[in-house]
């Protein structure tokens, strides 16, 4: 039996945002493992990572579609509907960029990453993992804020957003340093092009995480 009274209540889009953030995190972990695999030089199963990411990406896509498709006109939310869409868009871009990075890496997987740059790339990837892991925490804390509207809780969310900005800045600095090293240490122009582009892609992961943070800042604005 369907009850009229409860048709007013609907699934919260925040459930979806949180699920989506988890998927992004999983993707990032796969990416990190893939980079490590390439660096270890014994990477026979690189395709396996791509398949994993592909699967995660399509799952995340389904979540995204579910959120977008289930907020009909006239839905009243704790925040503006389009703020949620914009936030979701940024969070999804993080995932897209991770996938793009893995694809780019695979085009020249045999050559891998030159030994002189191994450590730098490990550091750069580690630097962009931090903001990604913050995302799901941020969604959870923001949800808490929407349940009690306490100033304390707002500060918690704002602190995470500030951390995101900080992480992005750190990743930016690392990115520049890696780029400089590539130009100076590598002579093969094809390798330079491949590595520079890879650096930029990895660096933009943090950019999108920061953008997501900015969108969240707009949502928790009074």
Partner 1 sequence: MGSEYTVLIIGYIFGFYMAWNIGANDVANSMASAVGAKAITIRQAIFIAGILNIVGAVFIGSHVTQTIRKGIVSTDILADPHLALIGALSALLAAALWVSFATWKSLPVSTTHSIVGAMIGFGIMAGGFSVINWGKLGAVVLSWVISPVFAMVIGFLMFKTIVKFILSKEDPFAQALKLAPYFISIALFVVILSFLFKTPLGKSLAVGTPLALLIALVMAIALGFVAVKILRIFIKKTNLTGEEEVFRKIQIGTSCYVALAQGANDVANAIGPLAVIYFLVKTGSVGAKVPVPIFLLFFGGIGIACGIGMAGHRVMDTIGRKITTLTNTRGFSVDFAAATTVMVASKMGLPVSTTHAAVGGVMGVGLARGIEAVNFRIIFEIILYWVLTVPAAAITSIVIFKILQLFI
The minimum distance between CB 13 and partner 1, in angstroms, equals 6
Residues sharing a CB contact under 8 Å with residue 82, sequence separation 6 or more, in sequence order:
none
Other CB atoms within 10 A of residue 184 CB:
9
Among 44, 74, 110, 187, binds partner 1 (CB under 8 A): 74
Nearer to partner 1, 2 or 42 (CB): 2
Among 44, 69, 110, 151, binds partner 1 (CB under 8 A): 151
d(CA 217, CA 8): 28
In terms of Cα–Cα distance, which of 88, 69, 74, 73 is closest to 219? Answer: 88
Whether the CB-CB separation of 161 and 214 falls below 8 Å is answered with yes
Transcribe 147-160 into DSSP letters.
HH--HHHHHHHHHH
Among 5-13, 128-136, 160-168, 213-221, which window interacts with partner 1 (CB under 8 A)? 5-13
Whether the CB-CB separation of 189 and 103 falls below 8 Å is answered with no
**Can residue 85 be called a binding residue for partner 1 (CB under 8 A)?**
no
Nearer to partner 1, 58 or 147 (CB): 147
The minimum distance between CB 15 and partner 1, in angstroms, equals 8
**Can residue 77 be called a binding residue for partner 1 (CB under 8 A)?**
yes
Interface residues with partner 1 (CB under 8 A) are 1-14, 71-79, 143, 146-152
């Amino acid at each position: 039996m369907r009850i009229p009274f409860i048709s007013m209540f609907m699934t919260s889009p925040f459930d979806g945002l949180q699920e989506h953030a988890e998927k992004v995190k999983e993707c990032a972990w796969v990416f990190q493992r893939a980079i490590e695999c390439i660096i270890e030089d014994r990477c026979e199963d690189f395709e396996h990572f791509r398949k994993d990411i592909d699967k995660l990406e399509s799952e995340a896509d389904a979540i995204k579609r579910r959120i977008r498709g289930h907020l009909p006109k006239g839905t009243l939310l704790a925040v503006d509907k389009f703020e949620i869409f914009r936030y979701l868009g940024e969070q999804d871009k993080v995932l897209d960029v991770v996938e793009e990075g893995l694809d780019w890496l695979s085009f020249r997987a045999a050559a891998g990453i030159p030994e002189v740059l191994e450590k730098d790339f490990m550091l750069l990837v580690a630097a962009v993992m931090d903001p990604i892991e913050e995302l799901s925490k941020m969604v959870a804390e923001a949800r808490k804020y929407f349940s009690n509207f306490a100033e304390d809780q707002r500060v918690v969310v704002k602190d995470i957003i500030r951390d995101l900005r900080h992480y992005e800045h750190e990743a930016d600095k690392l990115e520049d340093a890696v780029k400089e090293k590539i130009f100076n240490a590598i002579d093969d122009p094809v390798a330079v092009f491949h590595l520079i582009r890879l650096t930029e892609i990895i660096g933009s992961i943090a950019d999108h995480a920061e953008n997501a943070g900015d969108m969240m800042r707009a949502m928790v604005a009074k």
